[in-house]
Amino acid sequence: MKTNYELRYAANPEDAKRYDTKRLRRDFLIEKVFAPDEVNMVYSMYDRMIVGGAMPQREKLHLDAIAPLKQAFFLHSREAGIYNLGGEGTVRAGDAVYELGYKEALYLGSGEREVYFESKDPSKPALFYFNSVTAHRNYPDRKITKADAVVAEAGALETSNHRNINKMIVNQVLPTCQLQMGMTELAKGSVWNTMPAHIHSRRMEAYFYFEVPEGQSVCHFMGEPDETRHIWMQNNQAVLSPEWSIHSAAATSNYTFIWGMGGENLDYSDQDFFPINELR
């Protein structure tokens, strides 16, 4: 197995508005999340969130305590949320083993134990996408399915944004320190997400786009409301969203995305909205 990681430093919005396309993509886009028998991670200085992916195929993969953590165990002082977006697989956390099917999630609280990822069928490997943030106490591990989610239906086909927001790793479902994660599924014929655009200055966010049909793309919008920027993205890619940035997208087809947040509060509705016709 192979573990790859990189550090991404935080940007001042005054600086970010001067970034060209190459710099925007280098600082915010995470192009390679999955690769056979690899664990890939980005350690972001935005609320110290780690965004990563594990694709076990021929071997079992270990969640390494990468050097920046300076700990013997990845979860020593962290919690993590994991989604399986591929074939059936298992996650072993210490002595506990959790089976995850497609679009099922797992919350792991902080604590000193090893974590391993494994696929049931190498020809249909599991794709484990995860977010991890710092944690000041331990909460129990728990598997979460869509049946457990708090579901909010939003938008309409007439405005091209009819979608179901599946809130899965949120405090209405289970206790966490600061991590919140969920999955938004757009209906056929809808392409816009997270409109009207908003920011939440007490939390950063990461988006992972998947179920993007072959040959189609997602245009992710970011930046301050009066200084927006865009990043073209492909299937199975992630993007970091600073606390000062909007986070929205439109695509050339419907798609699904995982959102994950970390910060100082767990209030999902703590947002500052901006009218669509006032964006610049």
DSSP secondary structure of 93-159:
ETTEEEEE-TTEEEEE-S-S--EEEEES-TTS---EEEEEEE-SS----EEE-GGGSEEEEE--GGG
User: 246: burial class by Cβ within 10 Å (0-12, 13-18, 19+)?
Assistant: buried
Task: Show the domains of the chain with their CATH numbers.
Answer: 2-278 (2.60.120.10)
Nearest to 10, CA basis, from 223, 247, 237, 242: 242
Is pTM beyond 0.75? Reply is yes
More confident residue, 273 or 238: 238
What tokens appear for 119 in the block?
Answer: 């696929």
Average predicted confidence (pLDDT) for the chain: 96
- pLDDT tens readout for residues 30-53: 999 999 999 999 999 999 999 999
Tell me, what amino acid is at 27?
Answer: D
Judged by average pLDDT, the poorest of 65-79, 142-156, 195-209, 250-264 is 195-209
Give pLDDT, residue 272. 87
Give pLDDT, residue 266. 83
Torsion angle in degrees (nearest 10) through CA of 247, 248, 251, 254: 110
- pLDDT tens readout for residues 123-148: 999 999 999 999 999 999 999 999 99
Give pLDDT, residue 271. 85
Give pLDDT, residue 40. 98
Q: Supply φ then ψ for residue 9, to 5 degrees.
A: -90, 155
- pLDDT tens readout for residues 154-198: 999 999 999 999 999 999 999 999 999 999 999 999 999 998 889
Residue with tokens 């399915």, as numbered in its chain = 145
Confidence of residue 265 (pLDDT cuts 50, 70, 90): confident
Angle at 206 between CA 204 and CA 212, to 5 degrees: 155
- pLDDT tens readout for residues 269-280: 788 888 889 899
Give pLDDT, residue 171. 94
Rg (CA), the chain: 18
